[in-house]
């Protein structure tokens, strides 16, 4: 039973969306053609993200501060990709940054915010993220704008959220909560473990 659970957790972690990496490589190509001064730093950031996903994500747990750094690097690279006016805010408050958490636990919510909220946006859009850790309880809040045309797709839920729910059931049985609030033009998720 433990081997089965470990195998399932491993497969769920491997489903983190690779299209982000391909899109970032395309943007790096554009930056290099323009000989943009930020190209070397962007390559380094992408390298760090890939290293984290390939090596650190194989571990059962990582320090919360490592997971936060991964999310910040991801957001920085997404900012380079975006063409529309996007207000991105990430607030972090940790009592114990060394707290051990499963890797890649929060990224699914952030990827969904970009895929269903930010990327299809025609005009201004926003993403608000808050991560708080108090006495070993981690709360991750994600709120993003949603285009009305994409609202039905977001409401139906996809493999990413199913993946997250299954991981949470395996890792934190009876010790997690996830709340979703979907309004006409915004989508909010609050995850506590």
CA distances, 134 to each of 94, 145, 181 (Å): 7, 28, 23
What mean pLDDT value characterizes the chain? 84
Rounded Cα–Cα distance for residues 58 and 54 (Å): 7
- Confidence at residue 14, expressed as pLDDT on a 0 to 100 scale: 57
Please report which helix (H) or strand (E) contains residue 52, including its range.
Answer: helix 39-54
Buried b (16+ CB within 10 A) or exposed e, 59-74: eeebbbbbbbbbbebb
CA distances, 104 to each of 15, 76, 96, 186 (Å): 10, 17, 18, 24
**Considering the entire predicted model, what is its pTM?**
0.84
Q: What is the mean pLDDT of residues 153-181?
A: 80
- Confidence at residue 8, expressed as pLDDT on a 0 to 100 scale: 60
Q: What is the mean pLDDT of residues 94-109?
A: 93
The CA-based angle 162-164-170, given to 5 degrees, is 105
Tokens of 58: 């194989």
Does the pLDDT of residue 185 top 70, yes or no? yes
CA distances, 130 to each of 38, 68, 174, 180, 188 (Å): 27, 11, 23, 15, 11
Higher pLDDT, 15 or 50: 50
Judged by DSSP in three states, 15 sits in coil
State pLDDT tens for residues 154-164: 555 567 788 88
Which of these ranges, 16-30, 105-119, 145-159, has the smallest mean pLDDT? 145-159
DSSP state of 103: T
Q: Is 111 exposed, middle or buried (0-12, 13-18, 19+ CB in 10 A)?
A: middle
């Amino acid at each position: 039973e433990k081997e089965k659970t470990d195998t399932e957790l491993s497969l769920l972690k491997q489903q983190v969306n690779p299209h982000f990496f391909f899109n970032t490589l395309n943007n790096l190509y554009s930056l290099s053609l323009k000989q943009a001064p930020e190209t070397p730093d962007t390559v380094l950031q992408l390298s760090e993200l890939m290293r984290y996903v390939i090596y650190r994500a194989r571990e059962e747990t990582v320090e919360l501060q490592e997971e936060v750094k991964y999310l910040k690097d991801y957001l920085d690279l997404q900012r380079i990709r975006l063409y529309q006016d996007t207000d991105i805010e990430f607030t972090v408050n940790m009592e114990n940054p060394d707290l051990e958490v499963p890797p890649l636990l929060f990224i699914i919510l952030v990827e969904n915010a970009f895929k269903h909220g930010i990327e299809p946006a025609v005009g201004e859009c926003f993403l608000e993220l808050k991560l708080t850790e108090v006495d070993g309880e981690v709360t991750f809040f994600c709120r993003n704008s949603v285009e009305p045309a994409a609202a039905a797709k977001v409401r139906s839920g996809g493999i990413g959220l199913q993946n997250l729910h299954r991981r949470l059931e395996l890792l934190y049985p009876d010790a997690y909560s996830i709340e979703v609030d979907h309004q006409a033009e915004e989508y909010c998720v609050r995850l506590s473990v």
